[in-house]
Every structure is written in C-alpha cells, then in structure tokens.
C-alpha cells in the first residue's frame, strides 16, 4: 500500500463545493483510494485548518463546522490521526463554546494522561471536564 496525505485545500473543495470539478475529483480520490492501493492520511494540522477556514473565512456556524469535520474524521477511506482527540474537541467547541485550538490541546494532553494545564486563558479550559486549570 502506498501512503499519501490529503491537504486542507483538497478537503475544503469537497466540503464547500465551490468548484464542482475539484470537488468531484476529491470525492473520487477518497472513494477509490483503497482499491487503488493508497492509504490517505489526514494529519492533525489539516483538521485544525479546516475548522479555522470554515469559521473565519466562510463564517460557518459551529454546528455546521462540527458536522463537516466529523464527516471527514468518520470517512472510512481516510486515516485521521488523533481522531478521538478531534471528536472530543469538536463536541466542546460547539456545545461549550471553547476555542477549537484550546479544546484540541486539552484533549490531546488528556489522551496522554496529562490532566493539568498552566494557562492565563482560564475561561475556555475551565469548561473542559476532567482538566485542572492553574495559573503559572
């Protein structure tokens, strides 16, 4: 099996559907990857960029961003690194209005058994259950 990673720009074309030819090409690439002997990886920064672009550039509401990002994470033909971290982060991003980057940091740390953070950004981190928040 060959390995490749799929970039944010390609995934966004498929999600936004602003260029029909590119969107269909990405859909075909993902759909046919296994039979073509390709494992398509989605690296962590890609998910971070998808959320940022959908929020800041396209002004999508958090509910829509969560649904779109979860659809990518749950696509069986894609190997998404840190999928569990991102699913948990998307949940608190939408439901508790936590900045996505803060949520990712918290859940990535907790996945590694780290349950304490030192921060001056207490508001967001205190909304995350299971995390102890301290000032430096």
What are the tens digits of pLDDT across the range 49-87?
999 999 999 999 999 999 999 999 999 999 999 999 999
Q: So what's the pLDDT on residue 53?
A: 99
Whole-number Å distance between alpha carbons of 107 and 87:
9
Structure-token pair, residue 12: 């966004």
Output the pLDDT for position 86.
99
Q: Which tens digits make up the pLDDT trace of 88-125?
A: 999 999 999 999 999 999 999 999 999 999 999 999 99
d(CA 86, CA 80): 9
Give the integer Cα–Cα distance in Å for 67 and 20. Answer: 21
pLDDT at 100: 99
Mean pLDDT confidence for 125-134: 98
Confidence grade of residue 47 (pLDDT, cut at 50, 70, 90): very high
Per-residue confidence band for 27, with pLDDT thresholds at 50, 70 and 90: very high
């Amino acid at each position: 099996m060959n390995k490749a990673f799929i970039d944010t720009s390609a995934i966004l074309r498929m999600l936004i559907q602003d260029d029909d030819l590119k969107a269909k090409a990405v859909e075909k690439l993902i759909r046919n990857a296994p039979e073509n002997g390709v494992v398509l990886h989605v690296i962590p920064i890609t998910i971070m960029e998808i959320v940022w672009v959908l929020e800041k550039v396209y002004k999508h509401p958090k509910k829509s961003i969560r649904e779109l990002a979860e659809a990518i994470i749950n696509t069986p033909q894609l190997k998404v690194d840190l999928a569990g971290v991102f699913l948990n982060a998307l949940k608190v991003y939408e439901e508790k209005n936590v900045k996505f980057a803060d949520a990712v940091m918290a859940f990535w740390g907790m996945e590694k058994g780290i349950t304490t953070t030192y921060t001056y950004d207490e508001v967001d981190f205190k909304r995350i259950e299971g995390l102890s928040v301290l000032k430096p």
